[in-house]
Amino acid sequence: MRVLVQRSKEAKCVVDGKEISKIPKGLVLFVGFTEGDTLETIIYLVHKILNLRIFDDENQVMNKSILETEASEILSISQFTLYADTKKGNRPSYMKALNGQKASHLYDLFNQELSKYLKVKTGIFGADMKIHLINDGPITIMLER
């Protein structure tokens, strides 16, 4: 499982010209799954995301987690391309990305687990999504397990 975490000032997901979801200040998560990912993997990464100290404290030092700030929303976007393999040639291979049905199930579990702690909004699994975000910092961190 891979999660690309981006601290954002605001973000939204648009599908077919229609705004599907929008968050104010918070985190945008791009989420991909591979063979062998389980609920245990999800719980580990949810804990890591919630406790990442990437928000500024009163001294403007990244020392607070999302749980310790007013930034209380997450936009979670499924993204199988996180498992792109570009070692051979110029066309990425997505063989390591988990197939749609299994990945969709794990993605739902991931969002349910996150929702126990914060408000989570999502795009539409498998859709052609347009993500608009203002990356704050910019802060972008890749998590993997």
Residues with a known catalytic role: 81
The residues with which 93 forms a beta bridge, in sequence order, are: 85
Q: How far apart are CA 116 and CA 47, in angstroms?
A: 11
